[in-house]
Amino acid sequence: MRNKILGELYKNKENYISGEMLAKNLGISRTAVWKHINILKKEGYIIETTPGKGYRLLETEDKLLPGEIEILLGDNTIGKQVVYFESINSTNSYAKKEIGQLEDGTIVLAEKQTLGRGRRGKGWVSPKGTGIWVSLILKPDIPPREGIKMTQIAAAAVCESIRKLTGLNALIKWPNDIIINGKKVCGILTEMAGELNEISYIIIGIGINVNMDNFPDEIKEKATSLFIESGNKIDRRYLLIDILRNFETLYNDYIENLNLGRVLSIVKNYSAVLGKNIRVIQGKTEKKGKAIDINDEGLLLVELEDGSSESVMSGEVSIRGEEGYI
């Protein structure tokens, strides 16, 4: 009911709507309206109450409030349900633990993570109110081998949205990082479970450094934020909304055709590695070569120093430039 009240307030944003009209439109009492309005205020919504006029929703602070996200997303399937936390250890960890209770398309969203996770067990700094820490729950009816492609769909969606909303030259460091000026601004962690012929679930964790103005010494040489790079504070709500809409468009296109064509055009166009000399690191083994292409399956094609070629799968290797992080 609170989301319905919020929806009515959004329809009349910056204008008053009476308690009587809200009660009539929603089929509840004016007392119930008043109680729900007070709860919305406690959740962080700025609602002005004026006797004789009613209620008016004012612009909220830069908080990722679940009701607002759901309303702004409209009929988007990804994000139709938002599980929200002020603070949590990890959105991906929560999603894995509660996966049986979470519907396809649900997102788990937090203002802060205390144990944010990156690939290969690395931590991810996730301070309160400065980034986007979100996990997408997917339960598609596709062969398990197709699941690894979700990372590149997410990377394409995030990269396009950052470029669109900030004007920054965001690039994709295959397969799961977004970088700006050679520093990481976003990491994507995809986790999947299933059986031989069936996917049980896919969880895509996305961490974006949005409005941080500094980083711990141990990562400040390779991490950056949209604020640091642009000099402007970014509204996290609209960035998140745009990413989820982009992701849904690319995801649905892929599910319908099982073809990465549209995604790969974005990934290649904004690639940080294609045409570069790179090192492919796998465990204790390191190979040097040149990134020459990304094939139809989303695998990175590398021309090695000995003239042979190798296809590199997502999740198997770490890509580094000849000179430091790219």
pLDDT in tens, 226-263: 999 999 999 999 999 999 999 999 999 999 988 999 99
| CATH domain 277-321 topology | SH3 type barrels. (2.30.30)
Please tell me the distance from the alpha carbon of residue 167 to that of residue 171, in angstroms, as a whole number. 12
Q: Which of 267, 255, 247, 249 is closest to 154 using CA atoms?
A: 247
Residue type, 259: N
What are the extents of the domains in the chain? 2-57, 66-269, 277-321
Has residue 1 got a pLDDT over 80? Answer: no
The token pair at 39 is: 């709860």
> In this predicted structure, what is the pLDDT of residue 270?
97
Say how far residue 293 (Cα) sits from the centre of its chain.
26
Whole-number Å distance between alpha carbons of 233 and 210: 8
Which of 320, 277, 267 is CA-nearest to residue 298? 267
Q: pTM of the predicted model, to two decimals? A: 0.86
Amino acid at 261: G
DSSP per-residue letters across 78-141: TTSSEEEESSBS-HHHHHHHTGGGPPTT-EEEES-BSS-B-GGG-B----TTSEEEEEEEE---
Dihedral of CA 235/238/241/246: which sign? negative
CB 271 within 8 A of CB 301: no
- Assign 51 to helix, strand or coil: coil
Minimal CA–CA distance to 135: which of 56, 212, 78? 78
Q: Between residues 272 and 58, which one has the greater pLDDT? A: 272
Is pLDDT of 183 > 60? yes
The per-residue pLDDT for range 194-214, each reduced to its tens digit, is: 887 889 999 999 999 999 998
Dihedral angle of Cα 218, 222, 226, 231, to the nearest 10 degrees: 80
pLDDT per residue as tens digits for the range 59-68: 666 778 888 8
Place 163 in a pLDDT band, splitting at 50, 70 and 90. very high
Name the token pair of 38.
């007070």
| pLDDT (mean) for 275-298 | 87
Q: Which of 10-14, 74-78, 92-96, 183-187 has the lowest mean pLDDT?
A: 10-14
Q: What is the DSSP string of 53-68?
A: TEEEEPPPPS---HHH
Domain range 2-57, its CATH number among 1.10.10.10, 3.40.50.720, 3.40.50.2300, 3.40.50.300: 1.10.10.10
What value, to the nearest 5°, has the Cα angle with vertex 155 and ends 222 and 206?
Answer: 70
Assign domain 66-269 to its CATH superfamily: Bira Bifunctional Protein; Domain 2 (3.30.930.10)
